[in-house]
Amino acid sequence: MIVLLTGGTGGAKLVQGIHAEVQPEEVVIICNTGDDSVVHGLQISPDIDTIMYTLAGRIDPAKGWGLANDTFVVLEELARLGADTWFRLGDRDLATHITRTQLLGEGLRLSEVTSKLCRALKVSTTVLPMSDDAVSTRIVTTDGELSFQEYFVRARFEPEVTNLWYQGVDTCAPAPGAVESILAAATVIVCPSNPATSIGPILAVPGVRKALQETPAQVIAVSPIVKGRSFSGPAHKLMHALGVEASVVGLATAYRDFVNVLVVGPEDDLCRKDIEALGIRPLVTSIRMDSLADKQQLARKLLGVKSWTM
């Protein structure tokens, strides 16, 4: 069994590559829910949706989130009714949020709702939220404390970040099956998602980090950072809030207690020694995932990693 820890856009690219290479029944995906929020009274789980839509083959390929060929009629009307509409929700996408909100309102847990939505979308890969309990990543900036969506979407990650924390994480429980699947996996892949706001919340869920340390699985992380910059988004702006530098070495430092292999791009080849010094095997290969071929090639590399210890 292969377990993936992922956030949204960046991680979804690798999820797509793995999905093309492995039987869906052999994969468990644990998604960040720290970006979950309530918009227009509807429960939004952006990372879960990005992963589900990717696996269903329906992700908007241009944006990397939302559904392909979606329209924005409801949002236009909500704006007319006076709502803030900076969070762009398409009509088809809204059907997911309406269904999720309805099912949660009926008392189902987020993991049960996710499972139902996956079945409806004909996704047979197991997609798990990191927790059924509400966790909210809070970004402390020089403009005040923001939710992730407020920081990322509304403020376009411009405010200077001084700190971040995961509200509710200390008292949350991992979703049923999350810790168990990490412990039972042959391989765990930490996707190239934001270490601070996508992977960080998952690691902070009680029991998850310990399971990663204790699992007999090969734990492989793919860097979202090349030469101190993130491929997309604000990862490099947020890593210092974790107390590490924005680099593959910083990443290795943050993950050193549970990662066996860190996959970095050839641009960071010079960092091999520093990564090894942290007890992690560096694997240098192209980590660009522009085409499906790129994604599959990287996935095959990861699946071919032989067990390795220092």
Q: Which residues bind a copy of itself (CB under 8 A)?
A: 40-42, 70-71, 73-78, 80-83, 91-92, 94-96, 98-99, 101-103, 105-106, 117, 120-121
6: amino acid identity, one letter: T
CA distance 245 to 239: 6
Closest to a copy of itself by CB, 134 vs 186, is: 134
| Nearest distance from C-beta of residue 236 to a copy of itself, angstroms | 36
Closest to a copy of itself by CB, 1 vs 121, is: 121
Closest to a copy of itself by CB, 62 vs 81, is: 81
Q: What stretches of the chain show up as alpha helix (H) in DSSP?
A: 9-21, 46-55, 73-80, 91-105, 110-120, 148-149, 178-184, 200-204, 208-214, 235-238, 248-255, 272-277, 292-303
| Nearest distance from C-beta of residue 6 to a copy of itself, angstroms | 23
End-to-end CA distance of the chain: 23
Closest to a copy of itself by CB, 79 vs 292, is: 79
Instruction: Give SS3 for 24.
Output: helix
- The strand pair at 37-39 and 42-44 is best described as antiparallel
CA distance 248 to 282: 10
| Nearest distance from C-beta of residue 117 to a copy of itself, angstroms | 7
Closest to a copy of itself by CB, 73 vs 292, is: 73
| Nearest distance from C-beta of residue 123 to a copy of itself, angstroms | 12
Residue 297 vs residues 13, 18, 226, 238: alpha-carbon distances, Å: 12, 9, 18, 29
| Nearest distance from C-beta of residue 121 to a copy of itself, angstroms | 8
Nearest to 43 by CA among 52, 33, 53, 51: 33
| Nearest distance from C-beta of residue 62 to a copy of itself, angstroms | 19
Residue 187: both structure tokens together: 């391989």
Closest to a copy of itself by CB, 105 vs 243, is: 105
